[in-house]
Amino acid sequence: MNVLHPESILVPADGTQTPCLLGSRCDNCASVVFPQMPVCPACLANGAMQMVEIGRTARLFSHTIARFAPKGFKAPFFQIFVDLPEGPRIFSLVGAECPIEPGVLEDGMDMRLVLEPLADTPESKDLLTYKYVPAASPEKSGKARHA
């Protein structure tokens, strides 16, 4: 499967790794940003950014249900912003295992990363991307779904 933003995601090659996002951490001011950048947007240092693994978990900052889908997506679908423990606040989507109903998500709840196809549509079903699901939801066994 193709990865939508390969520079931004660590896709496990085997069972010894867990997936995560790839951001940049500034050696000068410790800011962490996602996606990766060569210049720190906080202190403007050039050449001080190091790649870091981030985003295995997150906290839900805000969420909505879109009732209209752009091409390649299927409505309704959740759209969210999450706070990563390492610092960044990023836009993301919600994993397919989470039912799309009001009340299922609550701002502030703990989330965990899943890698899965962008959407269940002909245009997007073969594009792997990063999404989040409530941390309390049971972990799916096996890596087959994103192999």
- Interaction of residue 62 with other proteins, rule CB under 8 A: yes
Site size for Zn ion (CB under 5 A): 8
Q: CB-wise, 117 or 141, nearer to other proteins?
A: 117
Owner of token pair 């805000």 = 62
Pairwise CA distance, residues 132 & 58, whole Å: 8
| Residue of the chain from 9, 40, 54, 118 that contacts Zn ion (CB under 5 A) | 40
- Interaction of residue 132 with other proteins, rule CB under 8 A: no
| Residue of the chain from 6, 29, 101, 126 that contacts Zn ion (CB under 5 A) | 29
Q: Strands, E, within 20-87: which ranges?
A: 20-26, 32-33, 49-54, 57-66, 77-83
Give ∠ CA 116-119-122 in degrees, rounded to 5.
120
Q: Which residues bind Zn ion (CB under 5 A)?
A: 26, 28-29, 31, 40, 42-43, 45
